[in-house]
Chains A and B, each alone.
Chain A
Amino acid sequence: MPAESETTMADTTTDADTDGQPGQDGHDVYGHHPGLTGEGAQEMAPENVTSAANRLRELGGVLRLSEAEAAALGARMTDDSPPASPDHDQTMLINMGPQHPSTHGVLRLMLELQGETVLRTKPILGYLHTGMEWTGEELTYLQGATNVTRMDYASPLFNELAFSMAVEKLLGVEVPERAVWIRMLMTEMNRISSHLLFLATNGMDLGAVSMMLYGWREREEVLRFFEKVTGLRMNHNYIRPGGVAADLPDGWRDDVLRLLEMIPPRLDEYDILMTGQPIWRNRLQGVGVISAAECLALGVSGPILRSTGYAWDLRRDEPYLAYEDLEFDVVVGSYGDCFDRYAIRLAEVRESIRLVHQILEAMPTGDYRVQDKKVTPPPRARIDESMEALIHHFKIFTEGFKVPEGEVYAAVESPRGELGCYIVSDGSSHPYRLHIRAPSFVNLQTLPHMMRGGLLADAVAVISSVDPIMGEVDR
């Protein structure tokens, strides 16, 4: 592995687990195990150099014990404890990623394999870290949406929505009704496109490569609609504090109706191609099982939590926008396996279509953003006429609008789970602290538990069914 050659330039690893005696146990002259690279403490050490307490943690001890119990147990175990299995030299540490066809970007996993059976897994993050939360603290609230939209790039509108809702909470402004419904329309369409992307990659990861192209094809149609409305296929910066950037364009209703007519028959085709396919079922059913209790212990949300039968959907349980006016079902599974997660997402596309139909019916007329001169920039025409408008425009785009002191958390149900935005404001025009509770980041914690005991091919199915977006994980 290329990873091993990096050992020579490794910094002094501080983790006691990874240090060994030079020349012993295959350690190199620096005392590092050859299975490790310069990433240091993040990496998974071979079993024989991992302390018992650490092993317990990696095997999910805290999921089955209380944290206090696990800590007590861990404290009693010393590093001299013998390795858990005597045949640890029969296992192989293998790197999956950050460059790997099915780790959905730059996720890196270290797997301990015995044959093809996965014994331990450790996700290693940070390969896409660009400090977006910090960047968000340097940008004004108006610019903020441009930043957050790049986090979960498969469902950008949800990021903008969560951010805008948090800012609006701080500002205390009420968004006009039409803006609320436009937001719902756009996010539901985005949920469709995001789930289509999942269906595509899920198919590809399991070897049904045609599915990838079919999924992308349908998603492209939805993105075309987004482009018409927002000007961009991704990273829209469309939902902004105070409303949305622009009203829906002429003929939007026909475009949406065309999509709503086009997608359901295609979903039926997916059913034929995948859902009913025996190989597909065998590959997914009973694979990567997780229970509701484990999900709750890990803070997992979204389709993974719902696949265990736990009906939790923020749209229904903590309604935001106008979801309480709409009728929809929260789809749950009963086995908590990869197949349930696949089926739930497929069903959620259908639910979203149902929602969009209702939204089309109920779309009100009116303003698409708050008419608050301090928050929303004036129309271009007003600037030529009114000195005041010019000043507002200038202030908003140079200094930005000021937001009252306070802290706030707003959460939406993104296609991947609870997407939260936490903002601390010090009264200035940019956040003092911006934090995004990214569902992918939390959901990744389930990987070691779902992969354990499965085969390498199952590991791929599990990653796929978690549907992580690395931009959101590393932020």
Chain B
Amino acid sequence: MKISMKVNGVDYENDIEPRTLLVQYLRETLDLTGTNIGCDTSQCGACTIHVNGEAVKSCTMLAVQADGATITTIEGLANDGELHPVQKAFCENHGLQCGYCTPGMIMASVDMLKNNPNPTEEEIRHGLEGNFCRCTGYHNIVKSVKAAAVSMKGGA
């Protein structure tokens, strides 16, 4: 099937098998391998991206369902080489260790902060419960998101 979508500002048109998952399309067809796959039951959130501005687990969608959509992946988050405040906050607060959950965690955090720019710790923990991390115990992820919220307000 032919599909087209805008990914990280670039227009793509591809002929794909209808059963292709959106995450497979991004990783295998477009070679955007920053989005990781951590499970096969839509639990882990490693594959979280933005579809039309909303955080979505890209293993839960077929690529054809995203036909015509505007998509941002972790590769498209930094602006002209300048890290997004959430990316920066994860680096500055040791919000990652092995880094495998990190792209999904960051994309989910960006979406959460868009909807709730000043979250409490409880709201952060609740907001990220769909994203698993096995390394950090979430402690520094929560700290990173808090720091990002502060710095984004500062910049606004």
Query: Is chain B a partner of chain A in the same complex?
Result: no
B interface residues (Cβ-Cβ under 8 A, vs A): none
> Which A residues lie at the B interface, using CB under 8 A?
none
